[in-house]
Amino acid sequence: MKQLPKQITRFIAGDAQADRIVPPTGYTAELTIFAAAVMAFLAIFSLALSSSMGRLADRWSDELAQSLTVRISAPAEQMDAQTSAALNVLNTTPGIASARAFTDEEQQALLAPWFGANVQIDALPIPRLIEVIEDDGSLDINGLRLRLQAEAPGAQVDDHARWRGPLVASANRLRLVGWMAILLIALTTAAIITLAANAALAANRQVIFVLRQVGARDAYIAMAFVRRFTLRALTGSAIGTALAVIFMIVLPSGAAGNGLLTDFGFTGGGWLLAVLLPFFVAGVAFSATNAAARRMLRSLT
């Protein structure tokens, strides 16, 4: 294990002379670098999309948690009694984290759009509003309605704010699409690199034949090709990743607010993934080329 870093250094530094035995493979080289770059670019973008959508879904879910309102319409003298009865019911209902009556100031603020800021709220027969915060999805709204009807006849449950539910579902689905795209891109990268490595090896059959003929061992021949392809894949995907990151940074960040993509990009974990991506691609290239080289070698004596 202590040898590993040395091995890696040697792998990257390579043996300048041994390297020369593999011809510059021209188009397959460009193909590998290019494909690795594009795939890394697309992967980073999908990752950012997934990650943004994930955060959006989380935020909207949080807002949804406060989406239930109970409205008590009752004659002024019964108002307080019914309010505390309703609060009682709510605080003993499973699935509800907390329930709290709005203060007069809060009610006034809510109504401002309709009446203007200078309305005298006490002069109006305004219902009392109770803000309910759910704690998970387990709240049984119909059961709650029945219990409230019994305890506080003037109480009405209003979940009109639930309209954001489908939005959350959509954001979650976009996140899923993002992850699927990443998976697809990873598979494609592996496949393209494998095919490119195979194509290069097939094109270099003569080289491999000559090397075997003059007494080269399989490991020596395979390593020469593997090094080439791994370094190419690493280079390509590093370029693609860097371009994608730069692109995301300079992408105009749009209007502030709760927009969909105003915070398009990564959080900490995403950055880590972005840094690891080129090494992942290099790893794929390493094993693909190694397998292809061994297979080709076995077909020659």
By beta-carbon proximity to other proteins, the closer residue of 218 and 263 is 218
The distance of closest approach from Cβ of residue 251 to other proteins in the complex, given in angstroms and rounded to an integer, is 43
What residue spans of the chain are helical by DSSP H? 4-13, 16-19, 26-65, 76-91, 104-115, 141-151, 165-203, 205-213, 218-250, 268-298
Question: Which among 88-96, 106-114, 140-148, 215-223 is the span making contact with its own copies, rule CB under 8 A?
Answer: 106-114
Q: What are phi and psi of 146, to 5 degrees?
A: -65, -45
Which of residues 191, 272, 276, 300 is near its own copies by CB under 8 A? Answer: 191
Nearer to its own copies, 26 or 94 (CB): 26
Q: What are residue 101's DSSP bridge partners? A: 130
Contact between 166 and 108 under an 8 Å Cβ cutoff? The reply is no
- Single out the residue of 66, 188, 287, 290 in contact with its own copies (rule: CB under 8 A): 188
Q: Please, are residues 12 and 231 in contact by the beta-carbon 8 Å criterion?
A: yes
- Count of residues in contact with its own copies, rule CB under 8 A: 61
- Does 24 bind its own copies (CB under 8 A)? Our answer is no
Judged by beta carbon, residue 240 or residue 278, the one nearer its own copies is 240
Question: Under 8 Å CB-to-CB from 48, ≥6 apart: which residues?
Answer: 244, 248, 264, 265, 266, 270
Which one of 9, 121, 217, 254 is in contact with its own copies (CB under 8 A)?
A: 254
- The answer to the question of residue 70 lying near its own copies (CB under 8 A) is no
Given 166, 268, 299, 301, the residue binding its own copies (CB under 8 A) = 166
Applying CB under 8 A, does 141 fall inside the site for its own copies? no
Using CB atoms within 10 Å of the CB of residue 294, give its burial: 0 to 12 exposed, 13 to 18 middle, 19+ buried: middle
Least Å distance between CB 22 and its own copies?
A: 15
Does residue 290 contact residue 226 with C-beta atoms inside 8 Å?
yes
First and final CA of the chain: distance in angstroms? 34
Determine, following the binding rule CB under 8 A, whether residue 184 of this chain makes contact with its own copies: yes
* 192 contact choice in its own copies, other proteins, none (CB below 5 to 8 Å, kind-dependent): its own copies
What are the φ and ψ backbone dihedral angles of 226, each rounded to 5 degrees? -60, -45
5 binds, among its own copies, other proteins, none (CB under 5 to 8 A by kind): none
CB 207 within 8 A of CB 23: yes
Which stretches of the chain bind other proteins, using CB under 8 A? 17-18, 20-21, 23-24, 206-207, 209-218, 220, 297, 301
Please count the CA atoms within 13 angstroms of the CA of 168 that sit on its side-chain side: 14
- Among positions 256-295, residues that touch its own copies (CB under 8 A) are 256-262, 264
The identity of residue 239, as a single letter, is I
Sites of contact with its own copies (CB under 8 A): 26-28, 30-31, 34-35, 38, 41-42, 45, 49, 71, 73, 110-111, 113-116, 119, 123-127, 156, 158, 160, 163, 165-167, 169-171, 173-174, 177, 181, 184, 188, 191-192, 195-196, 198-200, 202-203, 254-262, 264
